[in-house]
Amino acid sequence: MFAPDVLPVIFAALMGLSILLYVILDGFDLGVGLLFPFSEPEERDRMVASIGPFWDANETWLVLAIGILLVAFPAAHGAILTALYLPVAVMLIGLILRGVAFEFRAKAPLVHKGLWDAAFFTGSLMAAVSQGFMLGMYVMGLRWGWSEVAFALLTAGALTVAYSFIGATWVIFKTDGTLQRKAVRWAQGGIWGVVIGMGAVSAATPLVSARIFDKWFRFPEIVTLAPLPLMAGALVALLWIALKRLPAPGDHFAWFPFAGATALMVLGFSGMAYSFYPYIVPEKLTILEAAAATESLSIILVGVMVVLPVILCYTVLAYTIFRGKATALRYD
Amino acid sequence: MDTLLLSRIQFAANISFHILFPTITIALGWVLLFFKLRYNRTGQRKWMDLYMFWVKVFALSFAMGVVSGITMSFQFGTNWPGFMETVGNVAGPLLAYEVLTAFFLEAVFLGIMLFGASRVPGWVHTLATVLVAFGTTMSAFWILVLNSWMHTPAGYELRDGVVYAIDWMAIIFNPSLPYRLTHMLLASGLTVAFLVAGISAYRWLRGDHAPAVATGLRFGVVLGAVLIPLQILAGDMHGLNTLEHQPQKVAAMEGNWETGPHVPLVLFALPDQAARENRFEIAIPSGASIILKHDPAGVVPGLNDFVAEDGTVLHPPVAPVFWGFRVMVGTGMLMLAMGAAGLWFLHRRGAENLPRPYLIGLVGMAFSGWVATLAGWYVTEIGRQPWLVHGVLTTAEAVGPVAAGMVLTTLIAYLMVYVALMVAYIGVIFHLARKGSFFTPPVQPALQPAE
């Protein structure tokens, strides 16, 4: 039904889309959790309210991404996940903690609320740090050496700060008053993490692999690709200026930092995708070699083509229903 | 302990913890819809009070189910890479359809169902409730398709040791799916019935005699009493289906070693696998033959048929399957007794005058659905050993090359988290029940009846 050499590419693109959506969407709600220690207890209800209706669906993109890896590239799934056994476990326990803390903090006896707030922060931190660590290990080719681990620790820190940055921009977008002003300061502090993180990954990736170095720095690619880093630099500058001036009268441009942070993530992700294509396990296994049987991929693709647009539609619907500034979460 | 055993314990711990919460949410979604429709129809506040109370339990259970479910999708890769490498062509699409048609649906509309009542028209909120309930049921459908296929694989062929799908209808509607799906959906209904009855009884005993509490009691008891006979019937049919496809599992459930006629129904025994016999056996003569073959002279397969020439055991470990089955059936019988007694009391005395000992019994049975469901799953899953996919892939072949110490570390970490969350979860449900009993908040029914 579909050509056998096209299917793996389509699925790699779908997986990329899922990971990108996950990093942006769960990025902002993990980020909100990371900002808990900097906020007052009474501000936390509002921060949680800003992500309450969304976090569950946001996390589902991770399930879809890992699902596509699992079903479309079974050989890579095993290789990547057994290599990242410990960070995956840390991430999972983190996701468990924060996912349930969310519910418990509102329903448990009031005296335990602080405890669940701490669990929410700890879980968010574990998830963010382990994801950043896995990113670094992946860039380093999934090898467990001292220098690889050191680099992965750097990306772990950077991604954590980046998540807190996009979380802060979300709070700017969804709240007002004192909390919004506070979030502007958080974002000003966090933007450096984004710059360092993107810089480190961009610098390290071509150095680790001659193939990737060549892909970026040979002529004419070096010219056609130049807009990518230039746009990222311009965005950072614009964000910096915007954060100096926010909050603006009439709440103008409150959406801009979040949009800018999203655009930065898209740029960074595109760069990485370009670097690693066509490999799925860096320098070891290409997407064609790792792909599952054509007939199985075909039957999934049929479902994806029908269902994914519907999912995107009702996701947009949910964000539309809960548009505007966050208000207290109520079941009635 | 070796990596295989530790990985099995870890997966068993994860999936045991996980299944508790879907078992609640699958049926509770429909129950919430029922409460809401009753309110829309009658305008009586008690239905909205019930909805408001149980939607909190639903939200909490849903979150527990989601996060513990994510863990499993990763463990396929981290601990069981052989599973996807061998049967990924079948398991993959089934899991993908679960994510696409169920996970996103329930996750997105849950947000609207929980927090959107004041932001959307009443009918949209009701629709969101329908879609969440539908999503949880779809999720159960797809995962039970995959699980049933692992017990009774069909519609595939093996090429170079890898499974390829040839007939998707045969894969999806494989021989054990109808029985397993029915059995699990009824189990979910029963779990919720006894949870609603038990927590309502707890509130009643603490002096909260609001109309919603009495109605909750009546609802739970009646639902339980209606579902338990259906479940006994479905379980019996599922057992006969298992006898056809996995006779060694039924032999372990019955604790029957030798194939032959007039096989007794063993009520109590300590199966001794080393000596290949039962100790301290108490049995009803010809009982198993009558139940399984509807004839005292019916020939029932025994475990000794499943030992290879060289002594390799090809049947599951007997004791856990044997005992799991008895715990499940025993809990079911208790449910039957409580359901029947409850109907009689409701008929004679009404929901407001149930005898105190009966209410205490209901509180004790609040989580009985969990006990029966877990015991049942242990019977069917341990009963599949040594196979992971029956006749296709053994569990030992699928395990990943992770160091035993590493698996032990993560296992201990997961267990600590699970125990803590379990305590918190049950504690919070009773906390919510107590809160409801002392100061009923002046709930303004913001949800207007849909016209």
Q: What is the pLDDT of residues B174-216, one digit of tens each?
A: 999 999 999 999 999 999 999 999 999 999 998 888 888 999 9
Burial letters A145-176, b for 16+ CB under 10 A, else e? eeebbebbebbbbbbbbbbbbbbbbbbbbbbe
Radius of gyration of the CA atoms of chain A, in A: 20
Which residue, B78, B103, B323, is CA-closest to A86? B78
Residue B258 within any structural domain of the chain: no
How large a percentage of chain B has pLDDT more than 70?
A: 96
Mean pLDDT of B263-287: 83
Q: What is the pLDDT of residue A306?
A: 84
Please list the ranges in chain A whose pLDDT falls under 50.
none
Is there a contact between A16 and A273 (Cβ–Cβ < 8 Å)?
yes
Nearest to A57 among B88, B95, B111 (CB): B111
Q: What is the pLDDT of residue B66?
A: 86
Distance (Å) from the alpha carbon of B64 to chain A's nearest alpha carbon: 6
Helices (H) and strands (E) counted in chain A, each on its own, are 14, 2
Q: Around Cβ A227, how many Cβ atoms within 10 Å? A: 11
Distances (CA, A) of B168 to B84, B155, B156, B276, B390: 18, 7, 9, 41, 18
Cβ distance of B89 and A85 shorter than 8 Å? no
Query: What is the distance between the alpha carbons of residues A319 and B116, in angstroms, rounded to a whole number?
Result: 11
What mean pLDDT is reported for chain B? 87
Distance (Å) from the alpha carbon of A305 to chain B's nearest alpha carbon: 10
Q: Which domain range does residue B396 map to?
A: 3-245+351-438
How many Cα atoms occupy the beta-carbon half-sphere of B135 within 13 Å? 23
Q: What is the pLDDT of residue A184?
A: 85
Nearest to B60 among A69, A75, A103 (CB): A103
Residue B145 within any structural domain of the chain: yes
Strands B265-272 and B277-284, bridge-based pairing? antiparallel
By CB atoms closer than 10 A (0-12, 13-18, 19+), residue B308 is: exposed
Which residue, A89, A94, A85, A95, is CA-closest to A137? A85
Q: Which residue has the higher pLDDT, A155 or B371?
A: B371
Residues on chain A touching B97 (C-beta within 8 angstroms) = 300, 303
Cβ distance of B92 and A315 shorter than 8 Å? no
Is there a contact between B102 and B139 (Cβ–Cβ < 8 Å)?
yes
Which residue, A324, A71, A156, is CA-closest to B93? A71
Dihedral of alpha carbons A130, A133, A137, A138, sign? positive
Q: What is the pLDDT of residue B144?
A: 94
By CB atoms closer than 10 A (0-12, 13-18, 19+), residue B80 is: buried
Residue B304 within any structural domain of the chain: no
Residues on chain A touching B164 (C-beta within 8 angstroms) = 293, 295-296
Where does the pLDDT of residue B449 fall: very low under 50, low under 70, confident under 90, or very high at 90 and above? very low
Where does the pLDDT of residue B17 fall: very low under 50, low under 70, confident under 90, or very high at 90 and above? very high
Range list of H helices, B43-103: 45-79, 81-98
Number of domains in chain B: 1
Residues on chain B touching A78 (C-beta within 8 angstroms) = 77, 81-82, 84-85, 400
Query: What is the distance between the alpha carbons of residues B451 and B449, in angstroms, rounded to a whole number?
Result: 6
Please name the residue of chain B whose CA is at the shortest distance from the CA of residue A56. Answer: B107
Q: What is the pLDDT of residue B361?
A: 93
Residue B151 within any structural domain of the chain: yes
Q: What is the pLDDT of residue B179?
A: 94
Residue A323, chain B, CB below 8 Å: the answer is: no
Which residue, A15, A3, A17, A2, is CA-closest to A70? A15
Cβ distance of A96 and B93 shorter than 8 Å? no
Residues on chain A touching B114 (C-beta within 8 angstroms) = 52-53, 329, 331
Residue B55 within any structural domain of the chain: yes
ipTM above 0.90, yes or no: no
Residues on chain B touching A14 (C-beta within 8 angstroms) = none
Where does the pLDDT of residue B437 fall: very low under 50, low under 70, confident under 90, or very high at 90 and above? very low
Of A213-217, B53-57, B403-407, give the range with the top mean pLDDT. B53-57
Residue B110, chain A, CB below 8 Å: the answer is: yes
How many Cα atoms occupy the beta-carbon half-sphere of B203 within 13 Å? 31
Query: What is the distance between the alpha carbons of residues B197 and B33, in angstroms, rounded to a whole number?
Result: 18
Is the bond preceding B386 in cis, omega lying within 30 degrees of 0?
yes
Mean pLDDT of B230-247: 89
Residue B278 within any structural domain of the chain: no
Distance (Å) from the alpha carbon of B382 to chain A's nearest alpha carbon: 24
> At a CB cut-off of 8 Å and minimum separation 6, what does B256 contact?
B263, B266, B288, B300, B301, B302, B303
pLDDT in tens, B296-337: 888 888 888 888 888 788 888 888 999 999 999 999 999 999
Which residue, B450, B449, B444, B448, is CA-closest to B49? B444
Token pair belonging to A144 = 């467990």
Cβ distance of A330 and B68 shorter than 8 Å? no
Q: What is the pLDDT of residue A223?
A: 84
Query: What is the distance between the alpha carbons of residues A116 and A70, in angstroms, rounded to a whole number?
Result: 33
Three-state SS for B15? helix
Query: What is the distance between the alpha carbons of residues A16 and A11, in angstroms, rounded to a whole number?
Result: 8
Which residue, B221, B59, B438, B89, is CA-closest to A330? B59
Residue B144 within any structural domain of the chain: yes
Token pair belonging to A25 = 């969407």
Q: Which residue has the higher pLDDT, B440 or B168?
A: B168
Query: What is the distance between the alpha carbons of residues B78 and A83, in angstroms, rounded to a whole number?
Result: 8
Token pair belonging to B243 = 């006898």
Query: What is the distance between the alpha carbons of residues B61 and B73, in angstroms, rounded to a whole number?
Result: 19
Distance (Å) from the alpha carbon of B106 to chain A's nearest alpha carbon: 8
Radius of gyration of the CA atoms of chain B, in A: 23
Three-state SS for A201? helix
* A 15-54 → B contacts, CB under 8 A: 52-54
Residues on chain A touching B162 (C-beta within 8 angstroms) = 293
Which residue, B2, B1, B9, is CA-closest to B382? B9
Residue B336 within any structural domain of the chain: no
Residues on chain B touching A72 (C-beta within 8 angstroms) = 92
Distance (Å) from the alpha carbon of A148 to chain B's nearest alpha carbon: 20
Taking CB atoms within 8 Å and a gap of at least 24, the contacts of B160-163 are: B161/B86, B162/A293, B162/B85, B162/B86, B162/B89, B163/B86, B163/B87, B163/B88, B163/B89, B163/B90, B163/B389, B163/B392
- What amino acid is encoded at B63 in this protein? A
Which residue, B422, B398, B307, B390, is CA-closest to B61? B422
Three-state SS for B20? helix
Q: What is the pLDDT of residue A2?
A: 66
Residues on chain A touching B432 (C-beta within 8 angstroms) = 107
Please name the residue of chain B whose CA is at the shortest distance from the CA of residue A298. Answer: B93
